[in-house]
Amino acid sequence: MRRLGQSRLESWLRNRKIRNATAVAATAIEAATAQHTTLPGQRLAADMVSRLAKGVIALNEEIAEVDTLIESRFRQHQHAKIILSLPGFGPLLGAEFLASTGGDMTVFGTADRLAGVAGLAPAPRDSGRVSGNLHRPRRYDRRLLRAFYLSALASIRWCAASKTYYDRKRTEGKRHTQAVIALARRRLNVLRAMLRDNTEYQAGPAVIAA
């Protein structure tokens, strides 16, 4: 690293899309400059680290190629534009949604049925005199839950309507995770209606509380 220098290391990191390349390069060169002690077996350890690093880089590049293929395939789907119009859904989460549902909402019948498959509709576990004991169903599609949860989480930052709904649930005393799940359930209804009516998402005017 000392021979490589900070500028060349920074360029090498940037070419591989490493975050904070400048800071990482500066820290690495500073550590390399401060190290002058030779340890037994350090050359063997360095070779092992180098091989592991190359393996990680190759894996990252392969993942990026697969993501590109998934996005390309997703954009060819007839519902791609509708799904992407809903804030929080990108090509990869949209592809997860299609992989789990096939994009045909008639298969699920109702929004409640789709929510049950996604694990967003609590199922009763009443016993004896105990009632109202609701929990997530034991069997549900984890990929579908992940797609709606992550999209809801992202929409809080970029969608005013989602942020307002999330804040209201938090005001009602729900924890962060509970509020996000409630928002995901609401957005499931919206997306299902959009696909049923073949219409893209349109944000309504902001509502000012009295």
Inter-axis angle of helices 42-75 and 91-101, nearest 10: 70
Cβ atoms of 123 and 136 within 8 Å: the answer is yes
* Residue pLDDT, tens place only, 25-84: 999 999 888 877 777 787 888 889 899 999 998 999 999 999 999 999 999 999 999 999
Residue 119 CB coordination number (10 Å)? 22
Which residues in 1-23 are b (16+ Cβ under 10 Å) and which e? Answer: eeeeebeebbeebeeeeeeebee
Measured CA to CA, the distance from residue 111 to residue 121 in angstroms comes to 10
Reference 57, options 5, 26, 13, 9; nearest CA is: 13
Measured CA to CA, the distance from residue 120 to residue 110 in angstroms comes to 13
Cβ atoms of 141 and 91 within 8 Å: the answer is no
Amino acid letter, residue 187? R
SS3 call for 78: coil
The answer for 128, left when phi > 0, alpha when psi is -120 to 50, beta otherwise, is left
What pLDDT does 167 receive?
A: 95
* Residue pLDDT, tens place only, 79-129: 999 999 999 999 999 999 999 998 888 888 888 889 888 888 765 554 555
How many percent of the chain have pLDDT more than 90? 54
pLDDT confidence band for 186 (50 / 70 / 90): very high
Which residues in 144-172 are b (16+ Cβ under 10 Å) and which e? Answer: bbbbbbbbbbbbbeebebbeebbeebeee
Residue with tokens 């729900």: 174
